[in-house]
Structure formats: structure tokens, C-alpha cells
Structure 1
């Protein structure tokens, strides 16, 4: 079994468990059972969110070990010792926990002061802040380092231990940084590097990345408003807000099924841009195939498998699309961006999916193309 197929195990199992527990807690309105008397000083609310996050961390730990340590070792993907892995995981968890609990507290305070629309505006501001600080958060969460920049280059060269790290565009639309793994300088051929540089330009210039960000933002905001508007939801008490945030996690799962259909054309759009702006067909094929091999993905997949599980099209489909007369138009990486931005609404699926379970270096800058 390939590494790509094997990591579906922890991803699907962990996601299914979190989804089942979230659904049970949501349907039986468990937050009102466990937090009925909260409403004292601010630190009592903070303590409630910390307890929820620690429970979430404990539930996800076995799947993070499975996906981030056991499988990579069995497939010779890295040579971290278990204490090293646990230290890296703990660092990432600490950063995520601080961000998520801080965001939840701000949502609660906004809801107490001015109701649902103030909380919704706060959620928008928090997601924009996560975008603006995406690269610093990626460094802190994954323990990434920045190598000295090449003269004349506008890319940030990141030192990452995870071979699945692809970097990507980070930051607010129009102010993006192109983050590129240092390892690509030796693992990718010069023609592939050139083609990938053109692809990254295309993601910004065609608007594919901006559309992906806007779709992710809008999806999370819509889920929050719908969940908070239900009779058992709310934003003015910790238990009503937790009920709303549980609803947001269920909405995130729906996004895992819907948003990839918008994400995949964004990849094809960047491929087409590179081909039209200087990347010869052999260069582009080299970039697509070599980066795919680093992630140990399947060159081809059954159609149903790609529709259900894959944000990035297979190599076979990407190469076929280059010969198509149809002009792709998509929202690049919208599905995975929505998961990262769901930190702002306590998203419990944000690091459970197969692409980044157990890999803190991929929690903020998820693997792409």
C-alpha cells in the first residue's frame, strides 16, 4: 500500500471519531450540561475553553501518533525519534491551543456585548488576522526556519523536516508571500523549479488563490451564522457559544465534501497559466511529477476516490487537462484553507484530515501542488 493510501487510515478514523462525538454533543446539547454555571469572571470562561481544547488534544493524540510518527517510519518518510516527534507535536499543539482559545474568548465577549452580528464581525476579523499572520504562525506551529533569501528573489525559503511540506502562498490576498521549501533546491530539477515558480505566479495573477481564500472565509462565516441562529445555539454564554462552535465543526465536515470540487480547478488553472507563460510541456510535467513523488501520491486515482478525498487532482488528470480546450476556473486550496481558518471558530477537524494529521509543519500551510 502506498503512503498516500495508508495515511487515509488515521485521517478517516480520526475524523470519523471527532465527527461522531461532535454530533452526539451537539444533538444532546452537552455544553449546557457541563457548563451551566459558567458566567463569572473572564478566566472561568477561559478555563472552560481550555478544558475543551485539552479534551480535543487527548482524543486526537493517538491518530497524530499514527499519522505523524508510525506511518512515516514504516514508509521511510523521516527518521525522527519518538521524543523528538512528541516535542514537535506539543509545540504545535501549544500554538494552536493558544490561538483557538483566544479566538473563542473574543467571540464570546463580542457576543455578550452586541450579539450575533458582532460575533460574526469578530470572526471575520479573526480569520483575516490568521491570514495576515499565516507565515509567522506556520513557523511557530511547525518549528520552521527561514533560510537566507536569494538575491533578487521575492520567495521565502523555508527549512522544513517534513518532505510533504510544499509551502505555498501565505498572507492576505495581494500581499502574499511565496513560501518555498529549501529542500526543493536539491530534490527538484531546475526545469521543475522554474515551472513551479511560474505556477505560483499564476495562482496570484489569475486570482485562483484569492478566490480560494474568499470561498474559505465565506464558508466559515456562513456556517457560524447558521449555527448561532438556531434555537439551541447562541453567542452570549459559554455553553450556547460552544453549541454554535460544535455546529461549525459539523459544517466544516460538509465543506470537506463540497469545497474540493472548487479547489481542484484552481490547481489546473495554475498549470494552464504556467504553460501559457513560458513553461515548456516537459518542464511542467517534471514539476507536477516530481512534487507528487515527494508526497508519495498516486499517479492516477479512481474518479470517486478523487471526488471524495482529494483537493489536488491526480497527475494523470492534471496532464490530461493541459491538453483540454476547456479553460479551468477555480478556488485554489479552498477546502484546506477553510480548515486552517476554522481555528478562529474552534474547528475540531482542522488538523484531523489525512493530508496533515500528525504533521505540525502542515497545519498552517497545508500540502498543495
Structure 2
């Protein structure tokens, strides 16, 4: 399809099986986007949490010393994933530049050309909200006033919060690996900044409830039993199991937007389908990061010339194309537009047909 694009993940659970799943998912996601890209993924079971900058830098340099020959603007364009943020991408990019001998902006995430921050994290989070809007519009509804629960509290999750607030929704939860936080008054921009400070200092979300009295942190729990209209899963794979899905149904949820790759177990999917909960698959809803990556690499359209309004307009158009492509494939293959599995099946069918056609045209099959 084109040069590969996908994330590098640093997390203790990372293994070859997860890398293969992420790469396969990314290949399908990229094929569904408006751009001609292949998919890839990788990483390590190295855990950057609690490590000094020097330790992280030394690991990134060692990692890149083995990987640099497989990267390049016409071959593979790595980007941020769990455990890999601006700091890690900067170290990885610096080592790549030293070894490959060029300074091309072939990585998404670091401050490319050091001219300003990447828009990739914003784009993925905002794209999830735009996708939810498209689904609601087909139901003659809007986000304003809807109560939303969310898992995760990383870059993507916090940008989802931002955009939900901008559209008048009421987001009430975030989570981390130890539990979840609920704020009955809903989050606002000042509270999001406080959450960012907590994350930057590697403190627990528990500290939030010491400042805001109407909030509570629940240990060893997930937010899916909180009353809601929409749910955004932005933590990691298999985060929603059968009992979580049952809790979600009982809490009144009507739409689940997948921000993480494959957040639902197969048993959870069956529960959601039986309850007619609409699912926005990560393959389609998470395409925002690909849009940002393509704009970052388009030298004629340097990000310095984009206003936030222009960028959001491009992103909304790309998400609309992805949504329509998924629905068209679903209806072409006999799925009702309103059925809970339409978008899930439609996105997979559309991606598969695109890749299959490219393989046939190039004599690969």
C-alpha cells in the first residue's frame, strides 16, 4: 500500500504476539484511511516509568542502533504509542539521525525540525470525538449534555476530554492502571490541566480527589459501571471483558468509541451486540493520528502554516470519509446501517478489499 506507519510501544507486557496484533491492526487502519500507507508496530518490554532521563536515553539509543536500518521516510515511519512520548521519540530520532546520516522528519511525534509540537496526540483524541459526532448525527442527536465515561488518562484520553468539553458534553471519569477517578461535576479545562500536572509528575490520580471534594478514586476498579450515554475506551487492549460489558449495558450506555486497539474481548463484543450498543471500532475511529502524521510529513504544507481551525477542518473531513467508507462497505455486504455491528464489519471489509486489491495488482497473490 505504501511506506509503513505505526507505533512503538514501551511497556512491561509487550511481546512478539502483541507486536504482531498491533501491526496487523495498523495495516487495516491505514488501509481504511484516505492515505496510501502500510502498517507496522513494534516496541519493547522496557518500562520507562520510574527511570531517569539518562536511563531512558541510553535504552532508546540501543534500541535504535538495532532498528535504524529498517526505518526511513519511504520505508517505515514510527510514531508514539504507550510508554513512548515526546521525550522517547526525541531520543530515538536523534540516534536515527546520527546513524542514518540525515535529518528528514521521518518520525511522527518528536518536535519535527524543532518548530513546534506534534499534533498527532490531539488528532487521535479529537478524531474519536468527531467520529462519535458523526454517529450521533445519524441518530439525530448531538453531544451537548451527554454524560460520557472514559478509561485511560494518557495523551489521547486527555485530548478526548478537551474536545468533549468544547462540544458541551459532560465527561466524568478517567482511569490509570490502579483504578479510576470519577468527578460528578464533570471535568473542565482547569481540571484537565491539573490532571496533566499529576501525570507529568508521575503521581496517582488519587491525588485529584484531595483537591476536588466531589470526586472519588476507586482502587482496582474500572469506570464501566458509571451511568453514561457514551463510553470512550482509551486505555489498552482487552480492557473490557464480559462483566465490564454487562456493567456498561446496565449503566445505560448507547455508544462505545474504541480509542485503544481492540479494547473488547470477544465475550464483551457478544454482550454489547445483544444489547444493541453501537460500537465505533478503533480501526475507523482512531484514524486521526494517521491524518496528523501525513500533514506533518507534507513539506509543502508545513505545520507552521496550519491554523487550529484549518487542521480541525482537515481532520473532520478525513474522519467523515472513513466513517462513510465503513458504512458503505457494510451496506454493500448486507448489513443494516443501524445494526450495532455495521461499522465494525464495514471497516474490516473496506480495509481488507483495499489491501487485497493492491496485492492482486502487484502480483503478490
Question: What's the TM-score, normalizing by structure 2?
Answer: 0.28
Structure with the bigger RCO (C-alpha within 8 Å, sep 6+) is 1
What TM-score does the superposition give when structure 1 sets the normalisation length? 0.28
